[in-house]
A and B are shown apart, each in its own frame.
Chain A
């Protein structure tokens, strides 16, 4: 299984001007621990909206790669967004789902992926043609490299271990997060 923090460290090491949005939960802290980039957008609530936010951003910025970092619980809350992504087919979109098969922060309750649901097959059923199901860090690295290099949309399911998130400090103020992100794109002075 994948160590999510190690995978996040690899991910940010490959990034330049790519835009990253994260849904709520552990991946937000691991991403900021790896590197709190100005081009990271962190959601603090609205569980499930990460995929929709990433799609809107990919539509608005076709000149940049957009990486959505989702969780199993978050995606299960907004599964329809997979169909919206595939009907729109944004070539610049990389949708990563960190799947630890639980709602970690609320007491490790199992999600549907702890039972019979396989989100990679759900993504295929929703119309994704580029689907990677990764159970090791090496597999994740290869899938992410491919997604960065080739037109998408890409869906990467990263099966990660049950470790809690690193202690990365995530900016708390929603408006600070938004303005910093937009300024770093040159959209605000």
Chain B
């Protein structure tokens, strides 16, 4: 089973009904699976920060949501995480498609990609980095469990090591 099928299965097992997103290539793999299941309601956003507010609002109404975003979008979300999700203690799983690391060809992606782990650590956001397909079920379920136990954001990082590495696709 593809990693995206596994991840979506785990979301459903955890009653995560709402998926909000700003698209990236890795998130699209998840959306392709979720769109086939009417259980999920999928909401496109104009900016990732909106997703922080939307998922917190869904939690306020007793429902679970997740937000998919690219690495750049994590940068767009920082104050909403620091001043809404964290102090109000909202469970908020973020699935982040990693850019700016292994094999990055776009120099303008690299500073945010390199800074993201340190920013997550500075905000004390539990972070789960998936590098192998065989780890997807364990890492996704484990991350969701921490989000709902800790009442906090968690970051699930979908890396190029697992998804998106294309040998020789760009030669610099």
Chain A residues within 8 Å of B, Cβ to Cβ: 19, 21, 41, 43-46, 48-61, 78, 80-81, 83-84, 87-88, 174-175, 177-178, 181-182, 185, 187
Contacts and interface: CB of A to CB of B under 8 A. Distances in A.
Nearest to A81: B50
A46 B53 contact: yes
7 contacts: A21-B57, A49-B53, A49-B80, A52-B57, A56-B60, A78-B53, A84-B43
A182 B47 CA distance: 27
Given A56-B55, A56-B58, A78-B49, 4 more contacts: A53-B57, A59-B61, A78-B47, A185-B62
Contacts of B61: 19, 56-57, 59-61, 185, 187
Contacts of B90: 178
A56 B88 contact: no
A187 B62 contact: yes
Given A55-B57, A174-B88, A49 B45 contact: no
Contacts of A50: 53
Contacts of B49: 48-49, 52, 78
Contacts of B41: 59
A84 B45 contact: yes
Contacts of B107: none
B87 A60 contact: no
Contact of B60 (A83, A88, A178): A178
Nearest to A61: B61
B89 A52 contact: no
Interface string B48-90: 0111111111111111010000000000000110011001111
